[in-house]
Amino acid sequence: MNRVRAALAGVGVLAALLAGCGYDDTPLPEAPEAESPAQAADPECTTVDADLASYEPSDVVVPGGKVEEIRDRGRLIVGVSADTYKMASANPENGNRIEGFDIEFAKAIGRAIFEDTSGGFELGRNVQFRVITAAQRIELLQNGEIDLVVRNFTINCSRWQDIAFSQVYYDATQKVLVSKSLAESGYDGVQDLAGLRVCAPTGSTSLDNVVTAAEREGVDPPILEPAANHTGCLIKFQRGEVDAITGDDTVLAGLAAQDPYAVVPDQEPLNDEPYGIGANQDDVDLVRFVNAVLEEMRADGSWQAAYNRWLKQELSGVDAIQPPPTQPYRTG
């Protein structure tokens, strides 16, 4: 991060991973209780390409700005998941340290802020991971309890009304996980979910999207069964309380890797899910700084290394590249 570091130089775990759980007499934890489904998108707001644009990258630290505030505080506070396998999950074999694709971005941002300080960068000291649910992301950014959210956070026009986003750092898609028996019987898409119980986390866009997809296809929608997080959905699935889980392909791949009875069959995506890093609307300088870090990750190959390490195998070896910034940039 040479360019970012140079600009800073002068500026004074939740749950253990579920692994191999079946349907026998394996004791399962109780699923986290979910709130009623929260509407994730404004029906009067239609996301278009321009909504994926963020602010122009800048490695210039504004005196008194958010980046300087974080640097003076001595730690970056990042809202993350701890139960999204391969994206951000607690590893019980490593002291429940949270790790995954999303965590690589939080680490890179923290390193860019603190590496040129007198004590240098130390992850445990300079980055504080706060485990949050999908439903908490916007509220905690708005009230200033956290600096950033790096939690498979889909950018859309409705959320831009409440917070700010970085440029897109990963292009995910929404799909459906089902049992192997349902897949073998011929799962072809949302039309096969009519009358079935489908789970997704409260506060995510997934619940709205699956209903919209059913309406678009002119079929009856599934029965929505929200949970607090994806671990809650997996527990419901393993207990036979839901028939399917819908969510981002990255998340579903991690769930399927934990359950031999689950599979994400070949299917047309229900929706595009462009991920961004969330910030408070007032922290434009921080968003510009984050965008500069993302561009450094493109230039030095660390984005590609993170994808290859955490996601490529779980996504059936599919190659991916870092999305280019959407232009023109936002003003402000």
pLDDT at 33: 46
Where in the sequence of the chain do the CATH 3.40.190.10 domains occur? 2-19+46-170+275-310, 172-272
Alpha helices in the chain (DSSP H): 2-8, 66-73, 101-114, 123-126, 137-142, 157-160, 180-184, 206-217, 230-238, 249-258, 284-300, 302-310
Element (H, E) at 263: strand 262-263
Enter the pTM of the model: 0.84
Range 172-272: architecture per CATH? 3-Layer(aba) Sandwich (3.40)
Range 2-19+46-170+275-310: architecture per CATH? 3-Layer(aba) Sandwich (3.40)
pLDDT at 1: 55
209: nearest Cα among 135, 116, 271: 271
Q: Which amino acid makes up residue 228?
A: A
Residue 319 β-bridge partners? none
3-state class (DSSP) for residue 18: coil
Instruction: Note down pLDDT in tens along the chain; length 332 residues.
Output: 555 555 454 444 333 333 333 323 333 334 444 444 434 444 568 899 999 999 999 988 888 999 999 999 999 999 999 989 999 999 999 899 999 999 999 999 999 999 988 889 999 999 999 999 988 999 999 999 999 999 999 999 999 999 999 999 999 999 999 999 999 999 989 999 999 999 998 878 898 899 999 999 999 999 999 998 888 999 999 999 999 999 999 999 999 999 999 999 989 999 999 999 999 999 999 999 999 999 999 999 999 999 999 999 989 888 999 999 999 999 97
**Cα separation of the two ends of the chain:** 25
pLDDT at 62: 86
pLDDT at 132: 95
